[in-house]
C-alpha cells in the first residue's frame, strides 16, 4: 500500500502563504513588506482553492506564492531595510538628546540601497523592460507635472521631469512615435521602440487635483522603482543610438520655454563626423549638435529656402541634405552669433530617412510650422518633430524679444501657422492657418488631410482615437438609410404622434412619387408591388427557416453549452444594441442638422 | 667647566711655546732647589689636571714646564724620604737601594719623555742636533748616548691615575701597615699622613668644611666634599637641571599690544592695506568659476554625483536580445486598455451621453461604472480643462499592480455558433408532420384525450363536455358521438379522461375512462362483422364473472423492495375482488351504446378516484388503468377483458402513480410515479429496474416500440427525458425546450423514427429519433419541427397527442376544444 499522503504538504496548501505569515517569516514591518513587494514585483495570487490554501478557512485573506516569499528571504534590500530601521532609531535618539552634530553625521551616512540588481532580476532582457514601460512612463509623466508638496519633494518631481524629457527627446529624435490621441484625460502617445509598442499618457499642464485620501508613500515607492528603471532603459537606448547619456541640458532654455528644447542630444563619438564634417566644427562651437529645436532659426529657414530653390528633387536624399547643411552652415557663419544657439540644425535627423520605420516620420518634412502662443507647445513639438517637421514657436520669439536679441530673420518660409483662436487678426500671405487638431489627425491617419476643415473658427471634425472604438461601432461609417426609415418611424411613433402622421404622409408622398416615376419608366404598378412582396416573402421565409433550424438545434445543446452560448450571445447582443443606439443617435443628430440647414 | 679649562690650557701652551725650544737644554742640565718651591705651588693644579684627565693640556703643560717632571720626582722622593724617616724606626734595613735607584729612573724617564715630545714639535734642524751625542765616560772611554726611542704620544701614561690598585682586598687589611697598597711597579703606596695628634684633636672638636665622615677607599683619607659638589648631588637627587642657567628669567615683551607712544618706525600704512587684492579676487573667481561650471563640487554634492554616476552603466550588457521566458507561475500585469473614441476631447457627437444617461452614470457606484469619465466635447483644444482624477487613477493602478490578486483566466475564444451541435438537416429526415391539414371541431370545452384506431381511419376524442366523438380522419367529419356523462351539469367534475382503442384491428373496441369508471364501447362504424366480434369479446367475459373464477393469470407482484413481510395473503385476495367491478350496462347506458362498465368506486365509504390513464396490452386482452389518487389498492389496476376481471397488482403503491404501460414485447409493466419509473416483471412478479429521471413531477411516459429499450418520460417541470435502459438508470438525454409543463409524449408506433412532445405552451415538438441495434451507438435525436397552432386556454395548451399508426401524421388535442391532424 502506498504511503498515505499527509494533508497540507503539497498543492495549494504548500504553494500559497498568507500575507501575515509572509510578514512573520520575513520579520519586517507591513510597510517594508509593501515596499519590498513593489520593488520586487511580487503580487498576491488567487489560489484555485482558497479553502485548501488557508487550512480550511474561507476568510478573505491575501495569498502570496510561497516561493516568491522564499526568494525574498535572501534579498539584499531586506537587509538594507533593517539597517535603515536601526539608523532611524539612532537618529531619533540623537535628535531626542539634542545632539545635532551626531544626527547630521548619521544622516550623511544613512544606509542607501540600489535597485539595479532588482531591475535586472525582474527584467532579464532589455525587451522585457521595454514591454513593461507603460506604467513606468505614465507614473513619471504624472509626477513630472505635479507641484512639490509636503508629501512629494521637489527633487522627486524634478527627477521625473528630467527623465521624461529625456525619454521624449529620444522618441522624437528616433521618430518612433506611431500614434497620438488628445483625450480629456491628457494626451496619449504610442511609440514603437525596438518593436515594442509603448503607450503613455501625458496629463495636460494644469495644476493637478491631489486627493487627500491617497497614500503617497505607495506612489513614491513605485516612482522610485520606475525612475531607476527608466534611467537604465534610457541609458541603454541612448547608448544604442550612439548618444551620450545623460544628455546635456541647456539651462537657459530650461528656465525659459522649458521642455524638450533644453535637452541637447549629443552623439557618443562627438558627432556623426564622417557624414557631416562641417557640421561638426560648427557644432563644436555651438555646444554640439542638437536635434531639438523648437525655436527655429535662420538656418532652418535658409535651408528651407535653399531646398525650395533647388526644386529639382525634393526627396530627402543624403547628398542634398548635406549640401543643405553646407549652405546652412556658411550662412550661419555670416549671421549673428546669437542665433547660433538656437539654430541647431536638424540635419542628423534627416541624414537617414530610410531608417525610420514609421510612415509618419517624414510626413511633415517639408513644412515649417509657426505655433501661436495659445497653443500647447509641448504636444505639438513632439508630434511635429516626430513627423520630421520644423517649427517656430511664438513663445520662443517672445523670449528672444525679451532678451533684446535681434529678430531680423524672416519668417517667410513658414508654411503653416497653428492657431487656436476663433479669429486671426492679420493673416500673412502664403501661410496656411490651421487648428492644432489638423496635425494630430494627419499624424494618426498617416496622410495630409484637407486643411479647409481645420481652419480657425471652423467646427472641427471629431478627433478619433487611433485605437478605435471600445466595441465594434465605426463612427465614420455612413448611416444606412434603409434602417433609418423603420427605426425612426418606430421611435417617433412612440414619442410624437402628430409628427409621425406627417411623416407617414411624407413617406406616402415619396412612395407615390416613386411609383409615378417608375410608371413613367414603363413598369406597371401591379408588377412592382408583386415583385416587392415576393422578394420580401422569400427573404423572410428563408430567414425564418434558417432561424427555426438553428433554434431547433439549440434544443439539443447541453445545459453547460446552452449557458455559455447565452452568455456569449448576451455580450454580442449588448454590443449590437450599443451599435444600434449610437447609430440611432447619429441619425437623429444628422436629421436635426439638416433641419437647421433648411 | 670643562671648556673653561681647555681654553686656559691652550692659552698657556701658546704663550709658552716659543721659549721652550731654546731653554730645553738648560733645563735638563740645571738642578736647583728653587724649583722645589715652584713645584709645590703647582702641585695642586697638577693634581687638578690629573683628575680631569685633560690630556692635551697636560702634554703642553709638561712641555712648558720642563722641570716639572723633575720636581715631580723630587716630590716623590721627598715623600719617600719623609716616609723613610718615619719608618726608619720600624724597619731601617728596608732597601736603601730601592730608594736610591728610583729617582734615577725617574729622571731618566722624564728626560726621555721630554725628548720624545721635542721630536714632535721641533723643526728639522733642531732634530738633527738631537742625534747621537758622543761623550766620554769618566774613565775616558767613548760613550755614545743614543737618542731615546721615541714613544708615541699614547705611550705617555703620565695621565695614569694615581690610584691604589688594591683590587678586592679591603683597605682594612692594610691597617697594620704603613702603606695601603702597591703601585704598578710593586712599590708601596704609603698611607697618607694623618697629621699630628693636635690636628686630630682639632678635627674632632669641629668638623672641617665638607666633612662627610667617609673615607676615600683609594687613599684611605677622609672624603670631604665641597659646597658645590654637595649642591650638585642635591640637584641630581631631585632630578633638577644641574646647569647653572636660570630657567625662570623674566620675559621681555618685544611685541606687545600696547602701542608705544613713540613707535619704533613712523612709516605710514601702505595703500595696499586698504585696497582689495586683485590677486586674491582673481584666485577666488577662479574657484567660483570652477564651482559654477561644476569642476569643483562640494563634498555633499559630490557624494550624490558619485552615486548617480554609479548608475550610469548598461544594465543589460551581455543579456540576450529576446524576451525571457516567463515562469509558469508568473502572471504579468495586464496593460492598461488604450483609450477609445469616447475619451476624445472632441468625440463624435453620438458618443455624448444624454441627460438621462448622465444621471444614471452619476448614480452608479464608481466601481460599477463602465467608464470612469463622462464623455465631453470641446470645440477647440484651448477649451480643454485639466483632468481632475489623474492622480487617483494612477494611484488605483498602483494598488492594482501590487495589491490585486492575480488569476490566470483562460479566455474562451470560440465562435458561439460552434457550440450548436452538428445535426443532420430536418429536410433530410422527412417525412414528419409540418402543418395542420384537418381540424376536428365539435367538442364543447377542452379535449382531454384522443386515440386513433389501429386501422388509422378513425379518431376518437374525449373532452370535458362528457362526450366521446369518433371522427373520420381524412375528412374531419364527426361520425359518431357517445354521451358518457349524461348529466354533465350535475357532475362537472366528471370528464372523459382517457380513451384508447383496442390494439387488435378486428375488434373496434374502445375503452373510455370517465371519473372512476371505465366504459367499453364498440362504435358502430366498422361494419357488422367487426362490431359483432367486439361485442362478443365483451359478452364472453360475463360468464367468467358469474362463475366467480376470480383467479387471474396475473399474480400479485411481490414488490422488489422485499415487502414480502406483510404477507397479508388471504385478506389481500379477499379485498382484491373489490378492486373493480364489472357491470352490464344499464338500459340507459346500453341505449347510448355502452357495452360494459367497470367501476372502481367501493361504495359510499371510499372516495371515488378518477382514472386518468388507460393503456392496452399489445394482445388486446389486458389493459391497465391508473388513478393517481387511488391509494394503495386502486391506483394501478389491471383488467382482463376476456375474463372480466380486475386486480391491483401492488399491495402498496410507492408514491403517487402517474402512468403505467405494458412493455411492447416483454411481460413487463412499467409504472411511473411522480419521481421514479419502475419496471416490474409480471412473470416473476418482481421489480426489474428502477429509473431515476431526475424530474420532480413526471406526467406521462411512452415506450419505444422497437424492443422497448428506450423510455420517454415527460414531466410537468418542463422536461422530456430519454432513458436508454441499456445505459443507466439516469436519463440519456434531458431535453428542456418546452416553456411550460409537458403534457404528453409519444413515439410513432408504425416504424417511423419519430416522437413528439406536447406542452402547455401550445406547441408540439417533433423529433427524429433513430435507435440503433448496435449497443455501442447512442440514439440520435434530431429536433425536426415545432408545431404551433393550438391556442393556450387557461394556461393549458396541448393536452394529448397520438401518432397515426402508419403515416407520419400527428393528432393533437388542444385545450381550445379543437383536435388537429398534422400531416407532412
How do residues B685-709 score in pLDDT, each as one tens digit? Answer: 889 999 999 889 999 999 998 888 8
Asked if residue B819 lies in contact with residue B459, where contact means CB atoms within 8 angstroms, the answer is yes
Note the pLDDT of residue A88.
Answer: 93
Residue B14 has pLDDT above 60, yes or no: no
Q: What's the pLDDT score for residue B177? A: 83
Grid coordinates of B688: 426489474
Contact A167, A234 (CB under 8 A): yes
Band of residue B538 on the pLDDT scale cut at 50, 70, 90 = confident
What contacts B597, CB < 8 A, 6 or more positions away?
A: B517, B518, B519, B520, B582, B583, B584, B585, B589
Q: Is A268 on the interface with B (CB under 8 A)?
A: no
Partners of A125 on chain B (C-beta within 8 Å) are 316, 319-324
On the question of pLDDT at B296 being above 90, the answer is no
Q: Please, what is the angle between helix A30-40 and helix B390-403, to 10°?
A: 90
List, for residues B161-197, the tens digit of each pLDDT value.
667 777 777 777 887 888 888 877 888 888 776 667 7
Q: Burial of B311 by CB count in 10 Å (0-12 exposed, 13-18 middle, 19+ buried)?
A: middle
Nearest CA in chain A to B425: A549
From residue A560, alpha-carbon distances to A554, B83, B780 in Å are: 12, 155, 20
Instruction: With CB atoms and an 8 Å threshold, state whether B380 touches A460.
Output: yes
Between residues B537 and B73, the one the model is more confident about: B537
Note whether A570 contacts B: Cβ–Cβ < 8 A.
no
A-to-B residue pairs, Cβ atoms closer than 8 angstroms: 263
A453-461: Cβ within 8 A, 24+ apart: A456/A419, A456/A420, A456/A421, A456/A422, A456/A423, A456/A424, A457/A422, A457/A423, A459/B379, A460/A435, A460/B346, A460/B379, A460/B380
CA-based end-to-end distance of chain B: 162
Q: In B, which residues are within 8 Å of A126 by CB distance?
A: 316, 319, 321
Inter-chain residue contact A112 with B397, CB threshold 8 Å = no
Please report which confidence band the pLDDT of residue A5 belongs to, taking 50, 70 and 90 as the band edges. confident
Confidence of residue B563 (pLDDT cuts 50, 70, 90): very low
Answer whether B577's CB lies under 8 Å from B472's CB.
Answer: no
Q: What mean pLDDT do residues A149-158 have?
A: 90
Q: What is the pLDDT of residues A455-476, one digit of tens each?
A: 888 889 999 999 988 888 888 8
Sign of CA dihedral B201, B206, B210, B214: positive
Q: Which of B311, B319, B416 sits opposite A569 (nearest CB)?
A: B416
Residue contact A43–B406, C-beta within 8 A: yes
- pLDDT score of A536: 67
The answer, yes or no, to whether residue B536 has pLDDT greater than 90, is no
Counting residues of chain B whose pLDDT is more than 70, the rounded percentage is 76
Mean pLDDT of B38-57: 42
Mean pLDDT of the region A530-542:
67
Say if residue B156 is preceded by a cis peptide, omega within 30 of 0: no
The region of weakest confidence among A191-195, A331-335, B529-533 is A331-335
Look at B300 and A126 and tell me if their CB atoms are within 8 Å.
Answer: no
For residue A518, what pLDDT is reported? Answer: 64
Reported as a single tens digit per residue, the pLDDT across A396-425 is 788 778 877 666 556 778 889 999 888 888
Pair A432, A451: CB distance under 8 Å: yes
A185/B339 CB distance under 8 A: yes
Say yes or no for a CB contact (<8 Å) between B343 and A420.
Answer: no
- pLDDT value, residue A185: 93
List of chain B residues whose C-beta atoms are within 8 Å of the C-beta of residue A183 = 339, 343-345
Mean pLDDT (chain B) is 77
Contacts of A132 in chain B (CB under 8 A): 332
Task: Answer yes or no: are the C-beta atoms of A145 and A156 closer than 8 Å.
Answer: no
Q: Is B349 exposed, middle or buried (0-12, 13-18, 19+ CB in 10 A)?
A: middle
pLDDT band at A156, cuts 50/70/90? very high
Q: What is the mean pLDDT of chain A?
A: 77
Which residue of B lies nearest to A131 if distances are taken between CA atoms?
B323
* B765/A contact by beta carbon, under 8 A: yes
* φ and ψ of B537, to 5 deg: -55, -40
A113 in contact with B, Cβ within 8 Å: no
Q: Which residues does A241 contact at the CB level (< 8 Å), separation at least 6?
A: A170, A173, A174
The b/e string for B280-296 (b: 16+ C-beta within 10 A; e otherwise) is eeeeeeeeeeeeeeeee
Instruction: Tell me what pLDDT residue A259 has.
Output: 56
Per-residue pLDDT of B779-824, as tens digits, reads 888 888 888 888 898 889 999 999 999 888 999 999 988 999 999 8
For residue A519, pLDDT over 70 is answered with no
List the one residue out of A364, A360, A420 whose CA is nearest residue A394.
A420
Residue of B nearest to A455 (CA): B380
Separation between Cα atoms, residue B501 and residue B526, nearest integer Å: 13
Cell of B737: 425546450
**Beta-carbon separation of A235 and B401 below 8 A:** no
Segment A104-127 mean pLDDT: 90
pLDDT of residue A150: 87
Residue A55, helix vs strand vs coil: coil
Q: How far is CA B70 from the centre of its chain?
A: 116
Compare CB distances from B735 to A132, A208, A555 and report the shortest one's residue. Answer: A555
pLDDT of residue B82: 57
As a whole number of angstroms, the distance between CA B136 and CA A438 comes to 153
Cβ neighbours of A462 in B, within 8 Å: 341, 344, 346-349
| Mean predicted confidence (pLDDT) in A154-179 | 90
| pLDDT tens digit sequence for A217-250 | 999 999 999 999 999 999 999 999 888 888 877 6
Best of B336, B381, B428 to mutate (most A CBs within 10 Å, chain A): B381
> CA-to-CA distance for A400 and A408, rounded, in angstroms?
11
User: Residue A336: its pLDDT value, please?
Assistant: 29
pLDDT score at B273: 87
Q: B660 falls in which pLDDT band (50, 70, 90)?
A: very high
The pLDDT value given to residue A247 = 82
Please give the pLDDT value at position B280.
93
Q: Indicate whether A305 pLDDT > 60.
A: no
For B234-259, how does the pLDDT look when each residue is reduced to its tens digit (9 = 90+)?
A: 989 998 888 777 778 888 887 778 87
Contact A468 B387 (CB under 8 A): no
What is the pLDDT at residue A463? Answer: 92
| DSSP conformation class of B725 | T
CB A341 within 8 A of CB A299: no
Q: How far apart are CA B122 and CA B63, in angstroms?
A: 12
Q: Does A342 score more than 60 pLDDT?
A: no
- The most confident of the ranges B91-105, B295-309, B344-358 is B344-358
Q: How confident is the model at residue A36 (pLDDT cuts 50, 70, 90)?
A: very high
What number is the average pLDDT over the span B711-718? Answer: 92
Q: What is the mean pLDDT of residues A489-510?
A: 49
State whether residue A108 sits within 8 Å of chain B by CB.
yes
Q: Using pLDDT thresholds of 50, 70 and 90, give the confidence band for residue A19.
A: very high
Amino acid at each position: 500500500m502506498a504511503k498515505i499522503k499527509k494533508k497540507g504538504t503539497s498543492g495549494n496548501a504548500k504553494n500559497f502563504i498568507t500575507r501575515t505569515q509572509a510578514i512573520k517569516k520575513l520579520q519586517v514591518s507591513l510597510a517594508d513588506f509593501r515596499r519590498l513587494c513593489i520593488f520586487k514585483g511580487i503580487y498576491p495570487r488567487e489560489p484555485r482553492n482558497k479553502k485548501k490554501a488557508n487550512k480550511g478557512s474561507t476568510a478573505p485573506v491575501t495569498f502570496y506564492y510561497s516561493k516568491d516569499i522564499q526568494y525574498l528571504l535572501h534579498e539584499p534590500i531586506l537587509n538594507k531595510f533593517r539597517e535603515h530601521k536601526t539608523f532611524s532609531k539612532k537618529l531619533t535618539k540623537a535628535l531626542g538628546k539634542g545632539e545635532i552634530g551626531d544626527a547630521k553625521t548619521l544622516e550623511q551616512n544613512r544606509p542607501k540601497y540600489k535597485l539595479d540588481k532588482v531591475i535586472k532580476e525582474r527584467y532579464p532582457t532589455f525587451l522585457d523592460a521595454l514591454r513593461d514601460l507603460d506604467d513606468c512612463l505614465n507614473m513619471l509623466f504624472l509626477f513630472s507635472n505635479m507641484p512639490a508638496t509636503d508629501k512629494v519633494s521637489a527633487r522627486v518631481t524634478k527627477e521625473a521631469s528630467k527623465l521624461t524629457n529625456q525619454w521624449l527627446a529620444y522618441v522624437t529624435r528616433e521618430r518612433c512615435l506611431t500614434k497620438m490621441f488628445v483625450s480629456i484625460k491628457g494626451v496619449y502617445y504610442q511609440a514603437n521602440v525596438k518593436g515594442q509598442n509603448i503607450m503613455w499618457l501625458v496629463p495636460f499642464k494644469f495644476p493637478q487635483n491631489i486627493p487627500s485620501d491617497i497614500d503617497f508613500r505607495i506612489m513614491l515607492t513605485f516612482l522610485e522603482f520606475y525612475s531607476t528603471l527608466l534611467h537604465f532603459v534610457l541609458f541603454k537606448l541612448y547608448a544604442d543610438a550612439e548618444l551620450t547619456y545623460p544628455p546635456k541640458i541647456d539651462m537657459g532654455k530650461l528656465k525659459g520655454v522649458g521642455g524638450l528644447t533644453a535637452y541637447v542630444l549629443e552623439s557618443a563619438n562627438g558627432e556623426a563626423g564622417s557624414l557631416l564634417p562641417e557640421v561638426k566644427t560648427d557644432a563644436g562651437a555651438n555646444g554640439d549638435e542638437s536635434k531639438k529645436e523648437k525655436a527655429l532659426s535662420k538656418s532652418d529657414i535658409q535651408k528651407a529656402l535653399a531646398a525650395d530653390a533647388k526644386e529639382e528633387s525634393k526627396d530627402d536624399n543624403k547628398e542634398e541634405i548635406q549640401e543643405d547643411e553646407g549652405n546652412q552652415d556658411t550662412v550661419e557663419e555670416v549671421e549673428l552669433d546669437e542665433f547660433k544657439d538656437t539654430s541647431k540644425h536638424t540635419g542628423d535627423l534627416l541624414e537617414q530617412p530610410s531608417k525610420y520605420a514609421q510612415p509618419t516620420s517624414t510626413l511633415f518634412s517639408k513644412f515649417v510650422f509657426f505655433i501661436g502662443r495659445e497653443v500647447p507647445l509641448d504636444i505639438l513639438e513632439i508630434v511635429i518633430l516626430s513627423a520630421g517637421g520644423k517649427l517656430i514657436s511664438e513663445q520662443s520669439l517672445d523670449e528672444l524679444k525679451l532678451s533684446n536679441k535681434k529678430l531680423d530673420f524672416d519668417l517667410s518660409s513658414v508654411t503653416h501657422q497653428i492657431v487656436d483662436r476663433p479669429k486671426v487678426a492679420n493673416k500673412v500671405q502664403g501661410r496656411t492657418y490651421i487648428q492644432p487638431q489638423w496635425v494630430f489627425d494627419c499624424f494618426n491617419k498617416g496622410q495630409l488631410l484637407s486643411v479647409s476643415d481645420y481652419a480657425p473658427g471652423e467646427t472641427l471634425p471629431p478627433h478619433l482615437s487611433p485605437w478605435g472604438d471600445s466595441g465594434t461601432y465605426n463612427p465614420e461609417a455612413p448611416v444606412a438609410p434603409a434602417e433609418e426609415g423603420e427605426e425612426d418611424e418606430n421611435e417617433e411613433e412612440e414619442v410624437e404622434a402628430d409628427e409621425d402622421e406627417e411623416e407617414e404622409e411624407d413617406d406616402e408622398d415619396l412612395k407615390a412619387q416613386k411609383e409615378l416615376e417608375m410608371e413613367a419608366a414603363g413598369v406597371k404598378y401591379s408588377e412592382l408591388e408583386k415583385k416587392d412582396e415576393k422578394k420580401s416573402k422569400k427573404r423572410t421565409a428563408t430567414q425564418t427557416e434558417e432561424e427555426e433550424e438553428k433554434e431547433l438545434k439549440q434544443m439539443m445543446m447541453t445545459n453547460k453549452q446552452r449557458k455559455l452560448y447565452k452568455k456569449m450571445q448576451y455580450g454580442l447582443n449588448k454590443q449590437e444594441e450599443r451599435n444600434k443606439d449610437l447609430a440611432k443617435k447619429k441619425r437623429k443628430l444628422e436629421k436635426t442638422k439638416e433641419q437647421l440647414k433648411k | 667647566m670643562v671648556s673653561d679649562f681647555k681654553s686656559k690650557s691652550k692659552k698657556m701652551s701658546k704663550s709658552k711655546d716659543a721659549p721652550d725650544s731654546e731653554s730645553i737644554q738648560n733645563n735638563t742640565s740645571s738642578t736647583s732647589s728653587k724649583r722645589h718651591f715652584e713645584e709645590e705651588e703647582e702641585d695642586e693644579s697638577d693634581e687638578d689636571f690629573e683628575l680631569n684627565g685633560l690630556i692635551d693640556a697636560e702634554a703642553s703643560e709638561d712641555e712648558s714646564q720642563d722641570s716639572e717632571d723633575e720636581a715631580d720626582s723630587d716630590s716623590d722622593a721627598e715623600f719617600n724620604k719623609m716616609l723613610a724617616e718615619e719608618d726608619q724606626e720600624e724597619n731601617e734595613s728596608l732597601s736603601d737601594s730601592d730608594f736610591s735607584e728610583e729617582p734615577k729612573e725617574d729622571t731618566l724617564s722624564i728626560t726621555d719623555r721630554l725628548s720624545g715630545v721635542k721630536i714632535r714639535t721641533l723643526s728639522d734642524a733642531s732634530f738633527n742636533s738631537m742625534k747621537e751625542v758622543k761623550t766620554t765616560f769618566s774613565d775616558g772611554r767613548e760613550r755614545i748616548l743614543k737618542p731615546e726611542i721615541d714613544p708615541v704620544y699614547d705611550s705617555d701614561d703620565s695621565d695614569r691615575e694615581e690610584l691604589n690598585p688594591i683590587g678586592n682586598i679591603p683597605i682594612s687589611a692594610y691597617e697594620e701597615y704603613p702603606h695601603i697598597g702597591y703601585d704598578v711597579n710593586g712599590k708601596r703606596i704609603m698611607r697618607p699622613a694623618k697629621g699630628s695628634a693636635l690636628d686630630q684633636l682639632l678635627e674632632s672638636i669641629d668638623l672641617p668644611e665638607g666633612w662627610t665622615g667617609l673615607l676615600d677607599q683609594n687613599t684611605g683619607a677622609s672624603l670631604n666634599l665641597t659646597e658645590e659638589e654637595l649642591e650638585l648631588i642635591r640637584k641630581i637627587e631631585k632630578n633638577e637641571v644641574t646647569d647653572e642657567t636660570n630657567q625662570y628669567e623674566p620675559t621681555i615683551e618685544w611685541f606687545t599690544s600696547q602701542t608705544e607712544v613713540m613707535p619704533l618706525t613712523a612709516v605710514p600704512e601702505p595703500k595696499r592695506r586698504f585696497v582689495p587684492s586683485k590677486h586674491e579676487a582673481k584666485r577666488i573667481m577662479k574657484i567660483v568659476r570652477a564651482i559654477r561650471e561644476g569642476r569643483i563640487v562640494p563634498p555633499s554634492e559630490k557624494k550624490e554625483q558619485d552615486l548617480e554616476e554609479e548608475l550610469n552603466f548598461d544594465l543589460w550588457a551581455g543579456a540576450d536580445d529576446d524576451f525571457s521566458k516567463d515562469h509558469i507561475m508568473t502572471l504579468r500585469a495586464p496593460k492598461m486598455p488604450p483609450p477609445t473614441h469616447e475619451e476624445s476631447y472632441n468625440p463624435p457627437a453620438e458618443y455624448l451621453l444624454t441627460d438621462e444617461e448622465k444621471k444614471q452614470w452619476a448614480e452608479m457606484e464608481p466601481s460599477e461604472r463602465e467608464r470612469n469619465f463622462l464623455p465631453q466635447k470641446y470645440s477647440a483644444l484651448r477649451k480643454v480643462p485639466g483632468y481632475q482624477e489623474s492622480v487617483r487613477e494612477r494611484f488605483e493602478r498602483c494598488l492594482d499592480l501590487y495589491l490585486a490578486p492575480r488569476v490566470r483566466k483562460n479566455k474562451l475564444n470560440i465562435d458561439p455558433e460552434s457550440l450548436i451541435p452538428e445535426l443532420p438537416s430536418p429536410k433530410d429526415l422527412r417525412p414528419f408532420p409540418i402543418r395542420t391539414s384537418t381540424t376536428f371541431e365539435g367538442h364543447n370545452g377542452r379535449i382531454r384525450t384522443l386515440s386513433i384506431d389501429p386501422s388509422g381511419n378513425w379518431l376518437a376524442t374525449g373532452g370535458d363536455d362528457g362526450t366521446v366523438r369518433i371522427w373520420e380522419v381524412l375528412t374531419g367529419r364527426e361520425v359518431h358521438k357517445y354521451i358518457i356523462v349524461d348529466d354533465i351539469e350535475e357532475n362537472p367534475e366528471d370528464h372523459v379522461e382517457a380513451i384508447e382503442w383496442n390494439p387488435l384491428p378486428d375488434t373496434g373496441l374502445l375503452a373510455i375512462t370517465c371519473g372512476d369508471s371505465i366504459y367499453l364501447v364498440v362504435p358502430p362504424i366498422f361494419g357488422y362483422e367487426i362490431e359483432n366480434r367486439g361485442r362478443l369479446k365483451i359478452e364472453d367475459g360475463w360468464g367468467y364473472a358469474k362463475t366467480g373464477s376470480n383467479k387471474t393469470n396475473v399474480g400479485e407482484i411481490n414488490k422488489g423492495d422485499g415487502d414480502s413481510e406483510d404477507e397479508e395473503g388471504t385478506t389481500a385476495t379477499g379485498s382484491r375482488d373489490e378492486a373493480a367491478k364489472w357491470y352490464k350496462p344499464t338500459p340507459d347506458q346500453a341505449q347510448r351504446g355502452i357495452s360494459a362498465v367497470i367501476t372502481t368506486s367501493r361504495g359510499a365509504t371510499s372516495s371515488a378516484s378518477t382514472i386518468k390513464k388507460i393503456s392496452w396490452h399489445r394482445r388486446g386482452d389486458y389493459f391497465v388503468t391508473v388513478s393517481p389518487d387511488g391509494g394503495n389498492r386502486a391506483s394501478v389496476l389491471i383488467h382482463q377483458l376476456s375474463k372480466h376481471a380486475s386486480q391491483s397488482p401492488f399491495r402498496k403503491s410507492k408514491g403517487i402513480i402517474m402512468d403505467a404501460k405494458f412493455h411492447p414485447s416483454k411481460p413487463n409493466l412499467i409504472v411511473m410515479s411522480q419521481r421514479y419509473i419502475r419496471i416490474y416483471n409480471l412473470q416473476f412478479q418482481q421489480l426489474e429496474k428502477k429509473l431515476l429521471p431526475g424530474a420532480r413531477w413526471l406526467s406521462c411516459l411512452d415506450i419505444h416500440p422497437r424492443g422497448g429499450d428506450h423510455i420517454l418520460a415527460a414531466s410537468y417541470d418542463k422536461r422530456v427525458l430519454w432513458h436508454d435502459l441499456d445505459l443507466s438508470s439516469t436519463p440519456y438525454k434531458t431535453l428542456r425546450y418546452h416553456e411550460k409543463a409537458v403534457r404528453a409524449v409519444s413515439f410513432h408506433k408504425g416504424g417511423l423514427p419519430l416522437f413528439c412532445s406536447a406542452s402547455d405552451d401550445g406547441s408540439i415538438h417533433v423529433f427524429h429519433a433513430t435507435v440503433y441495434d448496435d449497443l455501442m451507438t447512442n440514439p440520435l435525436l434530431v429536433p425536426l419541427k415545432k408545431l404551433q397552432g393550438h391556442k393556450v386556454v387557461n394556461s393549458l395548451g396541448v393536452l394529448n397527442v397520438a401518432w397515426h399508426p402508419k403515416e407520419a401524421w400527428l393528432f393533437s388535442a388542444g385545450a381550445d376544444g379543437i383536435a388537429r391532424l398534422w400531416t407532412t
